[in-house]
Amino acid sequence: MAVSEVLVDTLTGYVKNLRTDILHDVGDSINVGIDIGQVEGGFIQGLGWCTTEEIKWDAKGNLLNHSPDTYKIPSVQDIPEDFRVQLLQNAPNPNAIRKSKAVAEPPLMLAFSSWLAIKDAISAVGNHEYEPHFSLPATNEVILLSIEDIRKKQNIS
């Protein structure tokens, strides 16, 4: 489970991840420090997938963003200001080694909490009367186009 709070600048499309709370089920943790690190890392990787990692191709099918200067991966600035990760207690998996559960890739999906928080913030521009046209990743451009679409529907300047 993950819940995120974001701040969206409606003039630039900039997003600041203010807070994320995560409760992740790893069964009986074999190493709490490693498991929490895996959850944090998976979440940040997912945050990149959901917000910045846009793949662009030209008309001939050539990849345009093939390196860190043209493909934005998450940085320390993308980590939530208030980042709280806990492991669910008393939920062992009786069918696995030491009653553990998967922890590596599943936390990636928890980043949808930030993507959905951004979507909700965009919807708030029009008092939640319209569902935003919104895609992955939620780049600044996607956010601004979604806000523009909501404003056109509401005749908001």
| Residues identified as active-site | 105
Among candidates 135, 141, 127, 124, which has minimal Cα distance to 6?
124
Structure tokens at 118: 């951004």
Provide the residue type at 103 as one letter: V
Among candidates 15, 117, 133, 24, which has minimal Cα distance to 74?
15
139 near 51, Cβ under 8 Å? yes
Residue appearing with tokens 């043209």: 70
